[in-house]
């Protein structure tokens, strides 16, 4: 009896643990670390515009034996691209100008001008000119291939089974940098990101007491990589590629690290360590006293030399009178 109760309690505990989940709010950080680690540009940040970056796949969200009506990838990927450009090199690489909601921006500026003219008349303060970009970035999500690879492994022994399965999808994006003055596509890069889904599970299937009682226990765990996270990481990788490709084509340069070169002396310094230490700890007053003492010694030495010369002249004169 106690054995049956233990089995029932264990089953209830497993079901309760498998359905318990805490939901929290997370702040998204940069997924591709090189985006913030890339060196700063040589000069001012580059003004750049983003008009569109849309889903071009037409794929619907995959399911087991069917596809739902929702899209497979996010429809706001251009927002992820703008954020990636702002995060490049800790915000030192690009200044992104607003273009996706340009109509709203112009309408608001018109409202400000009208209000100022109504308040101040002809003396109304004018608005500063809008920033214009020398290049803009476009592209989109061009591919989403689901279930390109799947598999798993499992085993069952005496009614106890364990298994593990996985599946891989791939999302593909393209980024293009376009020169505004000429319309030329200067840089184009393609990035693919693998999306991995895994599941691990096990079950127990047992008969007890000569087929009078059947116990079946199941437990499992599945983990699916978010598609939006994969798109964001692919976009950030594409931005880093654009920066390096632009440097290779000499569109811009990385800032050079300043290396301090030690002073090279053209003589051998024979000052001992104790002498250097004693000189370093002298105050300005003590240095003046040392200089004054040195001058005094030189003056005394010159005085003694003059006295010696006078004595020599006196001795020579006496010799002449004696003769």
pLDDT in tens, 43-93: 899 999 998 898 888 888 776 666 567 888 888 899 999 999 999 988 899
Q: Tally the C-alpha atoms within 13 A of residue 280's C-alpha that lie toward its C-beta.
A: 7
Angstrom distance (rounded) from CA 200 to CA 168: 15
Q: Are 239 and 88 in contact (CB under 8 A)?
A: yes
Element (H, E) at 167: strand 160-179
Q: How far is CA 60 from CA 74, 92, 174, 199, in A?
A: 11, 37, 20, 22
Contact status, residue 172 vs residue 192, Cβ threshold 8 Å: yes
Tokens 């791939």 sit on residue: 170
Measured CA to CA, the distance from residue 230 to residue 72 in angstroms comes to 12
Q: Are 194 and 170 in contact (CB under 8 A)?
A: yes
- The tokens describing 251, both together, are 């569109």
**Burial (0-12, 13-18, 19+ Cβ within 10 Å), 247:** middle
- Cβ count near 111 (within 10 Å): 10
What is the DSSP-derived secondary structure letter of residue 263?
A: P
β-pairing, 67-71 with 185-208? unpaired
Q: Which of 171, 172, 173, 221 is nearest to 195 (CA)?
A: 171
Per-residue confidence (pLDDT) for residue 175, from 0 to 100: 95
**pLDDT digits over 16-25, tens only?**
555 556 667 7
User: What is the full DSSP assignment across 220-248?
Assistant: EEEEE--HHHHHHHHHHHHHHHHHHHHHH
pLDDT the model gives residue 137: 94
Separation CA 278–CA 285 (nearest Å)? 14
Q: Compute how many other C-beta atoms are within 10 angstroms of the C-beta atom of residue 41.
A: 20
Residue indicated by tokens 């700063």: 40
pLDDT tens string for the chain (323 positions)? 555 555 555 555 555 555 556 667 777 788 888 888 888 888 899 999 998 898 888 888 776 666 567 888 888 899 999 999 999 988 899 999 988 888 999 999 999 999 999 988 888 888 999 999 999 999 999 999 888 888 888 888 877 888 888 889 899 999 999 999 999 999 999 999 998 888 888 887 777 665 566 777 778 888 888 888 999 999 999 999 999 999 999 898 888 665 566 666 554 555 555 554 444 555 666 667 667 777 776 677 666 665 665 555 554 444 444 44
CB 151 within 8 A of CB 197: no
Task: Locate 102 and state its tokens.
Answer: 């340009």
- For residue 241, the model assigns a pLDDT of 93
Helices marked H in the chain:
2-19, 34-37, 77-87, 102-120, 227-248, 273-280, 284-322
CA 295, CA 52: separation in Å to the nearest integer? 81
Q: Rounded distance, CA 270 to CA 267, Å?
A: 9
Task: For residue range 111-144, list pLDDT tens digits in order.
Answer: 999 999 998 888 888 899 999 999 999 999 999 9
Which residues, including other chains, have CB under 8 Å from residue 250's CB and lie 6 or more apart? none
Give the pLDDT of residue 320. Answer: 43
How buried is 216 (Cβ within 10 angstroms: 0-12 exposed, 13-18 middle, 19+ buried)?
exposed
Residue 209: what pLDDT?
64
**pTM value > 0.75:** no
Q: What is the pLDDT of residue 40?
A: 87
Q: What pLDDT does residue 318 have?
A: 45
């Amino acid at each position: 009896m106690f054995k049956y109760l233990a089995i029932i309690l264990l089953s209830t505990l497993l079901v309760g643990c498998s359905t318990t989940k805490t939901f929290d709010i997370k702040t998204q950080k940069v997924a591709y670390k090189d985006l913030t680690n890339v060196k700063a540009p040589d000069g001012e940040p580059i003004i750049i515009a983003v008009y569109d970056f849309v889903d071009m796949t037409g794929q619907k969200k995959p399911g087991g034996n069917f596809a739902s009506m929702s899209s497979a990838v996010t429809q706001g990927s251009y927002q992820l691209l703008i954020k990636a450009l702002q995060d490049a090199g800790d915000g030192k690489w690009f200044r992104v100008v607003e273009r996706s909601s340009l109509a709203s921006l112009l309408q608001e500026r018109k409202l400000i001008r009208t209000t100022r003219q109504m308040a101040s008349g002809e003396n109304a303060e004018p608005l500063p000119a809008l920033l214009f970009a020398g290049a803009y970035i476009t592209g989109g999500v061009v591919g989403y291939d689901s279930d390109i690879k799947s598999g798993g492994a499992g085993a069952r022994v005496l009614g106890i089974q364990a298994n593990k399965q996985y599946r891989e999808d791939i999302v593909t994006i393209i980024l293009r940098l376009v020169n505004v003055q000429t319309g030329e596509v200067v840089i184009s890069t393609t990035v693919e990101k693998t999306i991995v889904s895994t599941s691990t599970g096990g079950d127990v299937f047992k008969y007890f007491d000569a087929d009078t009682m059947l116990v079946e226990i199941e437990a499992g765990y599945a983990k699916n990589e978010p598609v939006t996270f994969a798109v964001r990481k692919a976009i950030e990788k594409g931005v880093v590629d654009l920066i390096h490709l632009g440097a290779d084509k000499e569109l811009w340069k990385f800032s050079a690290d300043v290396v301090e070169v030690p002073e090279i002396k053209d003589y051998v310094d024979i000052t001992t360590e104790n002498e250097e230490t004693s000189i370093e700890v002298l105050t300005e007053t003590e240095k003046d006293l040392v200089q004054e003492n040195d001058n005094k010694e030189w003056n005394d030495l010159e005085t003694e030399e003059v006295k010696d010369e006078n004595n020599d002249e006196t001795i020579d004169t006496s010799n002449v009178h004696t003769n």
